[in-house]
Structure formats: structure tokens, C-alpha cells
A and B are shown apart, each in its own frame.
Chain A
Amino acid sequence: MSFLQDYAYYIGAFGLVFIGLLIVLVQHNLIKVIIGVSIFDTGINLFLIAVGYIRNGTAPIFSRAGLEPGAMVDPVPQALVLTSIVIGVAVLALALGIAVRLYREYGTLDLRKIRELRW
């Protein structure tokens, strides 16, 4: 049980990171690769939040009286992840736009077939 308590979130986060990287490395379909990048990003975000967590902590919002700053989780990783989620979406949207255009030029999304530039 204590193993789960210590490692459940880390396992989840790095599980996503590795599955995401695996998709990027072994898949040939561009959209599939982009899905891999999205899972990879989610894993990193989960890791960052897990770094900032404090056991039995509360959310860092002083919504009512009697909340102790010492018992709150670290707000900084949450701020970083907010930024990183938005950046991730920006990259994914651009990637999907490029994928749509590539499909129109080549008629396929298979990265093995899209290789005019190799010498």
C-alpha cells in the first residue's frame, strides 16, 4: 500500500510519457504521432503537479477562513502546468493544420511515403 502511495502518480505520469514517446517513435501515421505528442504532454503535466503535491495538503486557494498556508500544496507547478497545457494545445493545433495540408498535397499521412527531401 505504501508503495502505491509513494509511486502511483509517478507511475501514471511516466507511463504516459513513455507510451507517448513510443507512439512517436514507432508509428508511421502523422495523426497518430500527434496523438503520441499529446499523451506525452499530459504525462509531463501530471509529473509536474505530482512534484508540487504535499500529503494531505489543500488546494492553494484562501476561499474560507482558517486555511493554513503551511498545509497547502505548492502553487508554482500548478502555474507552470497552466502555461504548459496552453502551449501544448498551441503546438498540437499547428501540427494538425500542417497534417491536413500535407494530406492534401500527398494524399497520405504515412510518414514512410512522405519523403521527397531525402537525398
Chain B
Amino acid sequence: MIVIAALLVAVMLAAAAAALVFRDLLSAVIASCVVSLIASILFLLLQAPDVAMAEASIGAALITAVFVIAIRRTERYEE
């Protein structure tokens, strides 16, 4: 179990680092969405199903949608 958790943590941190370096904002948003999704799996592993549901539905889905709408209203690439 702990190996799975450690792998998930590694992927999550890699996604966060990707959000730091991507110059394409849309990719950065998707990376942060991946961070949220993996965090919600980690919540599940930590026996917090309520929080996992909230993080998946609010943190991963809805806020990503708002981010994408905001990027469509502004610009996609960093200068």
C-alpha cells in the first residue's frame, strides 16, 4: 500500500513541478488538475472519503473548468 502511495506522491509532485515550468497556461492548469486528482486518491488512502469526494468534484473538476474559461477569456501563452 505504502509503495502505491509513494508512487502517487512522486507523480503528484512531478505534476506540480510541471505546472511550474509549463509556459502554456492550459497545460499548467491540466497539471494542477492532475495534482488535485491524485491528492483526492491520497485522501481516500488516508481514510477520508468525504474529503476525497469534495476534492475530486470541487478541487479537480469545477475549479479547472473555471480556470479554462478564464484562460479562454484572456491568453493561453505566457509572455
In the complex they form, whether A and B have CB atoms below 8 Å apart is answered with yes
Do A45 and B51 touch across chains, with their CB atoms under 8 A apart? yes
Size category, A interface: 35 or more
Which residues of the other chain, A, contact B55 by a CB distance below 8 angstroms?
A: 42, 45, 85
Which residues of the other chain, A, contact B36 by a CB distance below 8 angstroms?
A: 38, 42
Do A100 and B12 touch across chains, with their CB atoms under 8 A apart? no
CA distance A35 to B32 in the complex (A): 7
- Count of chain B residues near A, Cβ 8 A: 42
Do A73 and B54 touch across chains, with their CB atoms under 8 A apart? no
Do B20 and A92 touch across chains, with their CB atoms under 8 A apart? no
CA distance A108 to B67 in the complex (A): 16
CA distance A43 to B48 in the complex (A): 15
Asked if A69 is at the interface of the complex by the 8 Å CB criterion, the answer is no
Which residues of the other chain, B, contact A61 by a CB distance below 8 angstroms?
A: 49
**Max chain A Cβ within 10 angstroms of own Cβ: one of B5, B6, B16, B50:** B16
Main secondary structure on chain B at its contact with chain A? Answer: helix
Which residues of the other chain, A, contact B54 by a CB distance below 8 angstroms?
A: 81-82, 85-86
Query: Knowing A4-B6, A53-B47 touch, does A9 contact B42 (C-beta < 8 A)?
Result: yes
A41-89 contacts to B, CB under 8 A, are: 42, 45-46, 49-50, 52-53, 57-61, 72-73, 78, 81-82, 85-86, 88-89
Which residues of the other chain, B, contact A103 by a CB distance below 8 angstroms?
A: 73-75
CA distance A22 to B47 in the complex (A): 30
Do B51 and A15 touch across chains, with their CB atoms under 8 A apart? no
Do A16 and B13 touch across chains, with their CB atoms under 8 A apart? yes
Query: Knowing A86-B58, A109-B75 touch, does A12 contact B12 (C-beta < 8 A)?
Result: yes
Query: Knowing A32-B78, A39-B19, A86-B58 touch, does A8 contact B51 (C-beta < 8 A)?
Result: no
Which residues of the other chain, A, contact B51 by a CB distance below 8 angstroms?
A: 45, 49, 78, 81-82, 85
Do A89 and B59 touch across chains, with their CB atoms under 8 A apart? yes
Q: List 25 A-B contacts (CB under 8 A).
A: A4-B2, A11-B9, A15-B12, A15-B16, A19-B13, A20-B16, A31-B67, A32-B25, A35-B32, A42-B35, A45-B39, A46-B39, A53-B47, A57-B47, A60-B47, A61-B49, A73-B48, A82-B50, A86-B54, A96-B66, A99-B70, A100-B70, A103-B75, A108-B79, A109-B75
